[in-house]
Structure 1
Amino acid sequence: MPMPKSVVKINKDGVEYISNVDRAKYTLEELTRAALRDTAKLIRKRMIEKLKQLPGMRRNRRLYKSTQYWVRRKETDLQIGFKHDSWYGARSELGTHGSPARGILRDTTYDNIDEIRRIQGQYLSAIEDENRAAGLISEEEYISPDGDE
């Protein structure tokens, strides 16, 4: 979606009203999406590092290759986890009757709360500077590449 017009001017009874609401709304939404994208990259990277340290995971790459994230435009939210066709990802995270829950995704998120706050703050502080905000906003779709670390 392209950047909306910078201003809307309305003349009424000799008074000119200038509104930047549409542009500000667009900038907020795009900065939020960019912050979510970078947060997801961080969590996925740290999650893969933890998975590689687990016993037997150095040879078995399918679990950490199945990690993926989605920053959804319409819902304006972040989803991170294991691909839908990787039953071993859910079983590893949640556990089964025969194996304990590892909680890699949950623990990774909790362990990196300070870094997540720093990333979010970096983007949201750019609201004050329109040029800086435009430089942080990317127009590409945000789905993590398969197997990319």
Structure 2
Amino acid sequence: MAMPRSVVKFKRNGVEFTSSVDKAMYSIEELSRAALRDSAKYIRREMLKRLRKLPGMKKNRRLYRSTQYWVRRKESDLQIGLKHNTWYGADSELGTHKQPARGILRDSVYLNIDQIRIIQGQYLSAIADENRVRGLISEEEFVSPDGEE
């Protein structure tokens, strides 16, 4: 969906009143999505760094395929995690009766809260500058491909 134009609401006494509410709402929503997408990329990179440190995982391709994120347009949210049917997935994150919880995703987020705030702030501070908004917004849905770093 392209950025909506300002709409003329009405004219009164020779003064034209316009509304940029639709454009502002669109900009805020799209900047939020872009901020979530970049935050997810960062968190995923941090997760992969932590996963690589686990025994036997330095060059394992299953590692890359077990992490994913989705930035959803309709729900305006971010989902990031480990696939549940992978050995380094939910069992590794939450633990089982045979292995302790590793908390890879949880720690990747908690240890990087300040960096995530910086990433989010770069996008949301652009609201005042329309040219910056257009440069930061991507018009496509985004799901992380397998193997992306």
TM-score grouping bracket, smaller chain normalisation:
over 0.9
Letter paired with 2:75: E
Task: Please tell me whether the aligned partners of residues 66 and 83 of structure 1 are also in contact (alpha carbons under 8 angstroms).
Answer: yes
Q: Which runs of 5+ in 1 are unaligned?
A: none
Q: Name the SS for the 2:34 alignment partner.
A: helix
Alignment-derived partner of residue 131 in structure 2: 131
For 1:59 and 1:16, the matched residues in 2 are separated by 64
Q: 1:50 aligns to what?
A: 50
Residue 39 of structure 2: aligned partner: 39
Partner in structure 2 of residue 116 of structure 1: 116
Shift of 1:68: 0.4
User: Amino acid of the residue matched to residue 72 of structure 1?
Assistant: R
Cα deviations by residue, 1:4-56 (Å, 9 ceiling, x for unpaired) = 11233322576532110000000000000000000000000110011001122
CA distance in 2, matches of 1:84, 1:141: 23
Aligned CA-pair RMSD: 1.7
Equivalence for 1:141: 141
Asked if structure 1 preserves the Cα contact closer than 8 Å seen for 2:64 and 2:148, the reply is no
* Paired amino acid for 1:67: T
* Paired position in structure 1 for 2:74: 74
Please give the residue correspondences for 1:91-102 in structure 2 after superposition, counting only pairs within 5 Å: 91-102=91-102
Which position in structure 2 is the counterpart of 1:5? 5
- Any gaps of 5 or more consecutive residues in structure 2? none
Native 8 Å contact 1:7 1:23 kept in 2: no
Q: 1:98 to 1:38 in 2, by over 3 A?
A: same
Instruction: Measure how far apart 1:62 and its partner are.
Output: 1.4
Give distance in 1, aligned partners of 2:12 and 2:144: 49
Superposed displacement of residue 140, structure 1: 1.8
Equivalent residues, number:
149
Query: For the Cα contact (< 8 Å) 1:94–1:103, is it kept in 2?
Result: yes
Identity percentage over the alignment?
70
